[in-house]
Every structure is written in structure tokens, then in C-alpha cells.
Amino acid sequence: MPITEQQLLQILPNACRNAGVFVPVLNTAMNRYGIVGTPRAAAFIAQVGHESGQLRLVREIWGPTAQQAGYEGRADLGNTVKGDGSKYRGRGLIQITGRANYAACGEALGLDLLSKPELLEQPQHAAMSAAWFWSTKGLNTLADQGDFVRITRRINGGLNGLADRQALYDNALKVLA
């Protein structure tokens, strides 16, 4: 069953009018990648909500902070050309990061993200890239198992923002039940 704008606003109250923009594209993306049913949808919306500041940010705010400066030259992200760190900063609702991830995501979605990384800032691509990432990391299985901490680790690489993510998840489970 698709998520409604009212449900999305109950889960992510700070999304405001962005909820109306994102509801149709989230439903399309979630359906395409099998993110259906309460456990999956609740975990996905909670993670997307945290990563995007409740649907308000589709591009990582760039300082660069010390962590962001560390993206430069990171072979594990495929950042091999000077400037890749900033060019391939986190974008989309789950913040796809790094040249290699942009290449893989672009191939999966039929987009030239290496030449036009900003395409991930458009709502339909921001949502679809998040669902693609979710799928490639096997997160539906973890959502079915209720393993929200492992989902967070696969998305974030650690447990940054776990309390906020958990609060959004707990709320989403109630709203979508």
C-alpha cells in the first residue's frame, strides 16, 4: 500500500511542503525495489528522513569539514581524480557518495551521473537512488528481521545519528501499522 502525504508528514513533520513533492517519487522508487510492507517502508522512510534532514537536503552541505576533505583521494570511493571528493559529495535521499558509487548508481538508473552528478538532487532521482542503494545493500532482508542497527551501519558506516533514526523508525512503525 502506498504511503500517503499525511503519513509522511506524521513521520517527518519537518518535511513540510517537500512531503507533497516526494510522496509520488518515493512510492514509485519503493515499489520498484520491493520496499513494501510496514517493516521495510518504516525502516526506509526513517533512514531517508534522517539522511536528508526530513526531505530538506538532497546534497551534502560542504565545508569542507575534516571528514569531507577526507573524501579526496579515497580509492575505496573511487575518488581518483583531483576534485572528486567535492564533485561526488553525498547526494540523493541516502547521500550516494564517491565516484564509484555515482558510476554504479548511474548505470543502474540509466543516468550519466559522472558528467551530471547534480541529477541526484532532482526528487525522482534522489528517491530512486536511495531505493537502489537500499536494494544493493540487502536492506529489505534486515528490515524484515527488524535489525535497524545493522541497517544504520550499512547506510552510515557507523551509528551516527542513531537516536534520531531510531525515533523516526519507532514513529514510522506506529504510523504505518
Provide the pLDDT for residue 86.
95
Regarding whether 126 and 88 lie in a shared domain, the answer is no
- What domain count does the chain have? 2
Per DSSP, helices labelled H in the chain are: 5-11, 18-32, 38-51, 66-69, 84-87, 99-109, 123-136, 139-144, 148-156, 162-176
Measure the CA–CA gap between 21 and 23, rounded to whole angstroms. Answer: 6
What residue ranges of the chain have pLDDT lower than 70?
none
- CA distance between the termini of the chain: 11
Regarding whether 128 and 167 lie in a shared domain, the answer is yes
**Three-state SS for 107?**
helix
Tell me the catalytic residues: 51
Provide the pLDDT for residue 1.
83
Regarding whether 45 and 32 lie in a shared domain, the answer is yes
Q: Which domain holds residue 28?
A: 5-58+122-176
Q: Which of 118, 66, 111, 109 is nearest to 90 (CA)?
A: 118
Q: Contact, 113 vs 106, CB < 8 A? A: yes
Regarding whether 96 and 136 lie in a shared domain, the answer is no
Mind listing the pLDDT tens digit for each residue in 6-37? 999 999 999 999 999 999 999 999 999 999 99
Provide the pLDDT for residue 87.
97
Measure the CA–CA gap between 140 and 117, rounded to whole angstroms. Answer: 26
